[in-house]
Amino acid sequence: MTLGAMQDWPLRVTHLIDHAGREYGQREIVSRWADGSETRTNWAGIRHDALRMSQALHSAGVGKGDRVATLAMNHARHLVTWYGAVGVGGVLHTINPRLFDEQLTYIVNHAEDRVMLYDAVFQPIIDRLCDQWPTVGLYVCFDPPPGSDVLSFEEWIGAYDGNTAWADGDERDPCMLCYTSGTTGHPKGVLYEHRSTVLHAMAAVQPNLFNFDSRAVMLSVVPMYHAASWGLPWAGAIPGIKFVCSAVNDPAVLCDLMRREGVTHSAGVPTVWLAMFAQLDSDGKDVRDLGALTTAVIGGSACPRFMIERLMNNGVRVAHLWGMTETSPVGTAGAYPWNWEEMSFSEQVDLVSRQGRSAFGVELRCVDLDDPTKALPRDGVTSGALQVRGPWVIKRYFKAEADCTDPDQWFDTGDVATIHPDGTLQLTDRTKDVIKSGGEWISSVELENAAVGHPAVAEAAAIGIYHPRWDERPILVIVRKEGADCCAEDIKAHLVGKVAKWWLPDAVEFVDDIPHTGTGKISKKDLRERFKDYKLAD
């Protein structure tokens, strides 16, 4: 017999949009479309349209557990789709349109998507692949050009009045599916649950993470198809933040939106800021001229030191984020430590250069690369395989037959990292890419970072090459900058003092291009394949 109880209130994603619609109904959602037009709605409008969309899906026979796919950039109709697909009890499946055709075909079939919602700019993908997507019975275009005969989103939901209720269900029901851009094998699906998504959202708004109060204005340059868009479309509903969405990533457009809309928070990968800096430079402006910006959350890859310095010098808090599709995705974020004010600027930049601290709900540990049962000390020196655990960390991939965690539920991230005594995480490499030489590990990422500091280097990749005595030795593969010149000895000389002596590469090879994956990362797998017959001198 129960002695007393608190209420039953399943952690369903629909509570998020109900809350935003009710408590922050008038707060704006701004969309800047590919054709340059702008539209405005608000949280009440998003909710109403999501209810209408859930009616439209229901009429189309789409219901509990059915996958609803999108191929789209960031805009309010895409946001409606997130809540509308989930609201009918379905599973939102955001697809990265930059993937190769064979991956797109695999993913849609593996997910058994029932509906495909897409931006007009991706019509060629639809035309090219729809015959290979037998499960998709309905195509809806978010922004059909005038005179087009495809089904328009506004027309589709326009037939409904929104007078319906969200589908009920358990908090462990799935709500979203994202495929990882694995570098080997088929893409793998991560199936988020209502519960994991709501808990992740409640964490994301905290001061140590995105720090969203109801005054926040977010321009996210994280595509809504990428890693659940860092969970922002869910988290933003909690304090009802103003979202500014852009369907194009042109830096001139982004700078203009930041200024005009009073953007306080931005989120994106470092390359976005590279482009923004170039734009600001050509305009004779700096970051502080963007107006209200207080916070730049940067993740996806390591944020260069000069970028952190420039943003901080302009009064912007830089929060380095680490996570992955498998972690919903936020694992750590750059939080202010308690002694922040006592640190020198240089110490602050050192700290911000790391990947932040674990959110409450994410447990981190590093284990020995050779012996994953051996947990490593948090000494800021010893690096090993990074493992995570928590309520928004994956347990089992979509349609997999076994869990992807160890018996204690630790998930191996594939990252190599060290944890400092103060709890901050510092990534050093990917497990697959780290180079083993004479029984010791060399970080390919640190070699690359040191190499790109040379003024003639556009891009650098370090890989391990078989060596009869040392097992592996590193070589550097380099693309020179347009018109620049340098030789192997220049690069080696540049590295001296920046990395341990025994890390210095045995060879430097210059190439015209380095292979990339569908998501723009260096494909070490393809590079290793290209250099598989490479021979080092003894």
Q: Where are the beta strands (DSSP E) in 405-485?
A: 411-419, 425-430, 435-437, 440-442, 457-467, 471-480
Candidate ranges 49-57, 100-108, 199-207, 444-452; the one touching a copy of itself (CB under 8 A): 199-207
Residue of 28, 294, 436, 492 marked active site: 436
- Would residue 332 show up in a list of annotated catalytic residues for this protein? no
Write the single-letter amino acid at 9: W
Contact map string, positions 386 to 425, toward a copy of itself, x by CB under 8 A: ---xxxxxxxxxxxx--x-x---x-x-----------x--
Rounded Cα gap, residues 149 and 147, in angstroms: 6
Candidate ranges 50-58, 203-211, 454-462, 517-525; the one touching a copy of itself (CB under 8 A): 203-211
Which residue, 85 or 514, is less far from a copy of itself as judged by CB? 85
Which residue, 334 or 474, is less far from a copy of itself as judged by CB? 334
Q: Which of 363, 378, 291 is nearest to 332 (CA)?
A: 363
Beta bridge partners of 71: 118
**Binding residue (CB under 8 A) for a copy of itself from 53, 68, 157, 199:** 199
Let me know if 363 is exposed, middle or buried by CB neighbors in 10 A (0-12, 13-18, 19+).
middle
- Would residue 432 show up in a list of annotated catalytic residues for this protein? no
Restricted to residues 160-179, the positions that interact with a copy of itself (CB under 8 A) are 172, 174
110 binds a copy of itself (CB under 8 A): no
Decide: helix, strand or coil at residue 23: helix
Question: Kind and range of the H or E element at 141?
Answer: strand 138-141
Cα radius of gyration rounded to whole Å, the chain: 24
Contact map string, positions 176 to 195, toward a copy of itself, x by CB under 8 A: -------------xxxxx-x
398's CB contacts (< 8 A; 6+ apart) are 110, 111, 177, 188, 189, 190, 191
426 binds a copy of itself (CB under 8 A): no
7 binds a copy of itself (CB under 8 A): yes
22's CB contacts (< 8 A; 6+ apart) are none
Residue of 171, 261, 326, 448 marked active site: 326
Tell me how far, at minimum, the Cβ of 362 lies from a copy of itself, in Å: 9
Tell me how far, at minimum, the Cβ of 422 lies from a copy of itself, in Å: 8
Inter-CA distances, 315 with 147, 257, 293, 309, 398, Å: 48, 19, 8, 10, 43
Which residue, 131 or 341, is less far from a copy of itself as judged by CB? 341
Q: Are strands 138-141 and 115-118 parallel, antiparallel or unpaired?
A: parallel
Which residue, 265 or 473, is less far from a copy of itself as judged by CB? 265
Instruction: Give the number of residues written for the chain.
Output: 538
Tell me how far, at minimum, the Cβ of 6 lies from a copy of itself, in Å: 4
239 binds a copy of itself (CB under 8 A): yes
Which residue, 41 or 444, is less far from a copy of itself as judged by CB? 41
Write the single-letter amino acid at 418: T
Which residue, 38 or 112, is less far from a copy of itself as judged by CB? 112
441 binds a copy of itself (CB under 8 A): no
214 binds a copy of itself (CB under 8 A): yes
Let me know if 401 is exposed, middle or buried by CB neighbors in 10 A (0-12, 13-18, 19+).
exposed
Contact map string, positions 15 to 54, toward a copy of itself, x by CB under 8 A: xx--x--xxx--x---------------------------
Upper half-sphere CA count for residue 359 (Cβ side, 13 Å): 31
**Binding residue (CB under 8 A) for a copy of itself from 208, 426, 431, 523:** 208
Tell me how far, at minimum, the Cβ of 393 lies from a copy of itself, in Å: 5
Restricted to residues 59-88, the positions that interact with a copy of itself (CB under 8 A) are 65
Let me know if 490 is exposed, middle or buried by CB neighbors in 10 A (0-12, 13-18, 19+).
middle
Which residue, 140 or 237, is less far from a copy of itself as judged by CB? 237
Residue of 441, 448, 470, 517 marked active site: 441
Tell me how far, at minimum, the Cβ of 105 lies from a copy of itself, in Å: 20
Number of residues that bind a copy of itself (CB under 8 A): 71
322 binds a copy of itself (CB under 8 A): no
- Would residue 517 show up in a list of annotated catalytic residues for this protein? no
8 binds a copy of itself (CB under 8 A): yes
Q: Order across the sheet with 115-118: list the strands.
A: 138-141, 115-118, 67-71, 91-94, 174-180, 188-193
25's CB contacts (< 8 A; 6+ apart) are 42, 43, 44, 47
Tell me how far, at minimum, the Cβ of 99 lies from a copy of itself, in Å: 20
Which residue, 388 or 416, is less far from a copy of itself as judged by CB? 388
Restricted to residues 242-281, the positions that interact with a copy of itself (CB under 8 A) are 242
Tell me how far, at minimum, the Cβ of 203 lies from a copy of itself, in Å: 7
**Binding residue (CB under 8 A) for a copy of itself from 85, 120, 125, 203:** 203
Crossing angle of helices 13-23 and 76-87, rounded to 10°: 130
Crossing angle of helices 270-282 and 251-261, rounded to 10°: 80
Tell me how far, at minimum, the Cβ of 275 lies from a copy of itself, in Å: 29
- Would residue 156 show up in a list of annotated catalytic residues for this protein? no
Q: Is the preceding peptide bond at 377 cis, omega within 30 degrees of 0?
A: no
Catalytic residues: 180, 326, 436, 441
